[in-house]
Amino acid sequence: MKGIPNFWMALATQRQPATGLLLCLSLGIWLAVSCKHSAGDEAVVPTQPAFTTTPYPWKKPANFPDPVYDLTKNPLTVEGVALGKALFYDASLSKDGTITCAFCHSPYTAFAHTDHPVSHGIRDQQGNRNVPGIFNVAWGKTFFWDGGVTDLDLLPIAPIQNPVEMGETMSNVLQKVQRSSRYRPLFQAAYGSDTVTTERFLKSISQFLLTMVSANSPYDKYVRKEAGASLTDAAGRGMVLFQANCAGCHAGALFTDGQYRNNGLPRLTNAKIDDRGRAMITAQDADKYTFKVPSLRNVERTFPYMHDGRFQTLEQVVNHYAAGIQDNPQLDPLLKKNGRIGLSLTAAEQADLVQFLRSLTDSEFITNPEFQPR
Amino acid sequence: MRRLYFVILLLVLLAACKSTTVDQQVGAVNMSFVHQVNGSPLTLNTTTYTNKSGEAFTISKFDYFISNIRLIRADGSAYTVPQDDSYFLIRSNDPTSQTFTLTGVPAGDYAQIEYMVGVDSLRNTADISRRKGVLDPGSSHTSGMYWDWNTGYIHLKLEGTSPAAPVDATGARNFRYHIGLFGGYQSKTINNLRTVRVPLGISTGTSRLSVGPNLRTTLQIIADAGKLFDGPTPFKIADYPDVMVSPFSGNVANNYATMFSFGFSSAVSQ
Q: Which of residues 217 through 236 in chain A touch B, CB cutoff 8 A?
A: none
Q: Does B170 touch chain A (CB under 8 A)?
A: no
Q: Which of residues 246 through 275 in chain A touch B, CB cutoff 8 A?
A: 260
Residue A116: its pLDDT value, please?
A: 83
Mean pLDDT of all residues belonging to chain A: 89
Q: Which residue has the higher pLDDT, B264 or B140?
A: B264
CB A334 within 8 A of CB A317: no
Radius of gyration of chain B (CA): 22
Q: Where does the pLDDT of residue B192 fall: very low under 50, low under 70, confident under 90, or very high at 90 and above?
A: very high
Measured distance CA(A223)–CA(A244) in Å, rounded: 17
Say whether pLDDT at B204 is over 70. Answer: no
CB A200 within 8 A of CB A156: no
Q: Does A69 touch chain B (CB under 8 A)?
A: no
Q: Supply angle C-alpha A234, A237, A242, rounded to 5.
A: 115
> Across residues B73-84, what is the average pLDDT?
94
- Mutate which of B151, B179, B243, B251 to disrupt the A interface (most A C-beta within 10 Å)? B151
> Across residues A176-198, what is the average pLDDT?
96
CB A153 within 8 A of CB A73: no
Lowest mean pLDDT among A247-251, B5-9, B213-217: B5-9
Measured distance CA(A120)–CA(A104) in Å, rounded: 8
Say whether pLDDT at B129 is over 60. Answer: yes
B19 contact residues in A (CB cutoff 8 A): 39
Lowest mean pLDDT among A280-289, B121-130, B196-205: B196-205
A151 and B8: CB-CB below 8 Å?
Answer: no
User: Among A32, A147, A282, whose Cβ lies nearest the Cβ of B12?
Assistant: A32
DSSP per residue over A154-187, as a string? GTTHHHHH-TTTT---HHHHHHHHHH-TTHHHHH
DSSP per residue over A299-325, as a string? TTTS-SBTTTT-B-SHHHHHHIIIII-
Print the SS3 string covering chain B: CHHHHHHHHHHHHHHHHCCCCCCCCEEEEEEEEEEEECCEECCCCCCCEECCCCCEEEEEEEEEEEEEEEEECCCCCEEECCHHHCEEEEECCCHHHHEEEEEEEECEEECEEEEEECCCHHHHCCCHHHCCHHHCCCCCCCCCCEECCCCEECCEEEEEECCCCCCCCCCCCEEEEEECCECCCCCCCCECCEEEEEECCCCCCCCCEEECCCEEEEEEEEEEHHHHCCCCCCCCCCCCCEECCCCCHHHHHHHHCCCEEEEEEEEEEC
B136 contact residues in A (CB cutoff 8 A): 198
- Number of Cβ pairs < 8 A linking chain A and chain B: 129
Closest CA to B55 of B156, B157, B160: B160
Q: Does A62 touch chain B (CB under 8 A)?
A: no
> Across residues A42-60, what is the average pLDDT?
77
CATH topology for the A78-214 domain: Cytochrome Bc1 Complex; Chain D, domain 2 (1.10.760)
CB B57 within 8 A of CB B49: yes
Segment A315-369, tens digit of pLDDT: 999 999 999 999 999 999 999 998 899 999 999 999 999 999 999 999 999 999 9
Q: Does B122 touch chain A (CB under 8 A)?
A: no
Q: How far is CA A288 from CA A117, A132, A144, A324, in A?
A: 22, 20, 16, 20
Could you give the 3-state DSSP secondary structure of residue A95?
coil
User: Among A24, A158, A283, whose Cβ lies nearest the Cβ of B247?
Assistant: A283
Q: Where does the pLDDT of residue B112 fall: very low under 50, low under 70, confident under 90, or very high at 90 and above?
A: very high
A283 and B151: CB-CB below 8 Å?
Answer: no
Segment A121-147, tens digit of pLDDT: 888 888 889 999 999 999 999 999 999
**A120 bridge partner residues:** A126
CB atoms within 10 A of CB B202: 11
Residue count of chain A: 374
**How far does the CA of residue A356 sit from the closest CA of chain B (Å)?**
32
H or E segment at A281?
A: helix A279-282
CB A260 within 8 A of CB A286: no
Could you give the 3-state DSSP secondary structure of residue A331?
strand
Say whether pLDDT at B32 is over 90. Answer: yes
CB B185 within 8 A of CB B125: yes
Residue B187: its pLDDT value, please?
A: 79
Residue A51: its pLDDT value, please?
A: 84
DSSP state letter for A90:
-
Residue A123: its pLDDT value, please?
A: 85
Q: Which of residues 277 through 336 in chain A touch B, CB cutoff 8 A?
A: 280-284
Measured distance CA(B268)–CA(B29) in Å, rounded: 11
Residue of A nearest to B1 (CA): A17
Q: Does A199 touch chain B (CB under 8 A)?
A: yes
Mean pLDDT of all residues belonging to chain B: 90
A282 and B188: CB-CB below 8 Å?
Answer: yes
Residue B186: its pLDDT value, please?
A: 75
Q: Does B202 touch chain A (CB under 8 A)?
A: no
- The widest CA-to-CA distance across chain B, in whole angstroms, is 85
Residue A217 CA from chain centroid, whole number: 21
A35 and B13: CB-CB below 8 Å?
Answer: yes
Say whether pLDDT at A9 is over 80. Answer: no
> Across residues A293-306, what is the average pLDDT?
97
Q: Supply angle C-alpha B76, B78, B82, rounded to 5.
A: 165
Upstream peptide bond of B232 is cis (omega within 30 degrees of 0): no
Lowest mean pLDDT among A163-177, B86-100, B204-218: B204-218
| Interface confidence (ipTM) of the complex | 0.79
CB A159 within 8 A of CB A104: yes
Measured distance CA(A348)–CA(A221) in Å, rounded: 25
Say whether pLDDT at B5 is over 70. Answer: no
Q: Where does the pLDDT of residue A41 fall: very low under 50, low under 70, confident under 90, or very high at 90 and above?
A: very low
Residue A35: its pLDDT value, please?
A: 44
DSSP state letter for A116:
-
CATH superfamily, domain at A218-365: Cytochrome c-like domain (1.10.760.10)
Using CA atoms of A222, A226, A229, A235 in order, give the dihedral in degrees to the nearest 10. 0
DSSP state letter for A340:
E
Q: Where does the pLDDT of residue B142 fall: very low under 50, low under 70, confident under 90, or very high at 90 and above?
A: low
**A341 bridge partner residues:** A336
B13 and A31: CB-CB below 8 Å?
Answer: yes
> Across residues B73-83, what is the average pLDDT?
95
* Percent of chain A surpassing pLDDT 90: 79
B188 contact residues in A (CB cutoff 8 A): 282, 284
> Across residues A164-179, what is the average pLDDT?
95
Q: Where does the pLDDT of residue A80 fall: very low under 50, low under 70, confident under 90, or very high at 90 and above?
A: very high
B19 and A39: CB-CB below 8 Å?
Answer: yes
Segment A244-286, tens digit of pLDDT: 999 999 999 999 999 999 999 999 988 888 999 999 998 888 9
Segment B11-31, tens digit of pLDDT: 444 454 444 445 579 999 999
Say whether pLDDT at A10 is over 60. Answer: no
* Percent of chain B surpassing pLDDT 70: 89
Q: Which of residues 149 through 168 in chain A touch B, CB cutoff 8 A?
A: 149-151, 153-154, 157-158, 160-162
Listed by start position, the domains of chain B span 48-98+105-208+226-257
Listed by start position, the domains of chain A span 3-39, 78-214, 218-365
A33 contact residues in B (CB cutoff 8 A): 16
CB A283 within 8 A of CB B189: yes
Residue A49: its pLDDT value, please?
A: 61
User: Is-same-fold flag (A78-214; A218-365)?
Assistant: yes
Residue B184: its pLDDT value, please?
A: 85
